[in-house]
Amino acid sequence: FLGHYINASELDLGMGIGDMYYPDYLGSDHANNMVIPFPFIDYHSKKLDIDKDGIKQQLFSIDGLSARVSMNGSLPVTSSGARKGMDDLDLAVEIGPALVYKFYEQNGLTFKLDIPIRAVVSTDWESVDYRGYKTDPRIAIDYDIDGYLLQFQTGGVWADSRYNNYIYGVDRDDVIKGRAEYKAKAGYLGYKTSFGISKKYEKIWAGAFIRHYSLGGAVSNDSPLTRQNYAIYGGLFIAYLFDKKFSQKLKKWIE
């Protein structure tokens, strides 16, 4: 099946390293910085795309409409600040389907409507727990100019009560002065705006992004764990791309 799609000249594989800046959670007043390794996969064809945005495949025969596997996640954090004394937040992985409608594409400029819905699971490496689901429909604008890919995204974020309670809920055992018992409800979590830039060279891919969340009107604002009405994320990444011969060997192995 994969051999039908893969053209070695359009497949790039590699390994990279990134430096991430991120808060403990949306609304936290404590932030983290972490250096992480990551695999680099970049493949594009008329039928299938695999890149940092997930796996996307043409849906039906409707021009501009496609489906993809949407993936996201959050890094583990040790509880501090408003969550001090509570359970740590484990590594979380989000995965699910997304519909993407491309309503404009010309001269390197693309406008898309991206509607994902993802299940969230967390793990402490001893067990895996289902944490609910999230959705963050957004307008995405990509502009490819002289080999530089500029990306802008904007849209809201919603989650069910199970997820919100995992992040913002306070059990009776965790009540202390200034931190009352709280049970979260489903709803709006904030508005996201992000900007990214990347460039792929013969042997190197490099990129960076910054993302801002405005939390005004979020259901989580009632939680004693919410300390501020905004959140900022950022990252710098660089990857080394393997030789094309490696891709050719992979294609031969798959076929």
CATH number of the structural domain spanning residue 153: 2.40.160
SS3 149: strand
* pLDDT digits 0-9 by tens, 205-219: 999 999 999 999 999
* pLDDT digits 0-9 by tens, 107-157: 999 999 999 999 999 999 999 999 999 999 999 999 999 999 999 999 999
Q: Is 24 exposed, middle or buried (0-12, 13-18, 19+ CB in 10 A)?
A: buried
8 Å CB contact between 134 and 101: no
Q: Which residues pair with 109 in a beta bridge?
A: 106, 143
The pLDDT of residue 253 is 61
64: DSSP letter: T
Please tell me the distance from the alpha carbon of residue 184 to that of residue 225, in angstroms, as a whole number.
Answer: 11
* Residues of the chain with confidence (pLDDT) below 50: 1-9, 255
Domains contained in the chain, number: 1
Radius of gyration of the chain (CA): 20
Which pair of tokens denotes residue 90? 């484990």
The pLDDT of residue 65 is 87
Sign of dihedral through CA atoms 215, 19, 91, 15? positive
Q: Which residue range forms the structural domain that includes residue 29?
A: 2-254
The pLDDT of residue 111 is 97
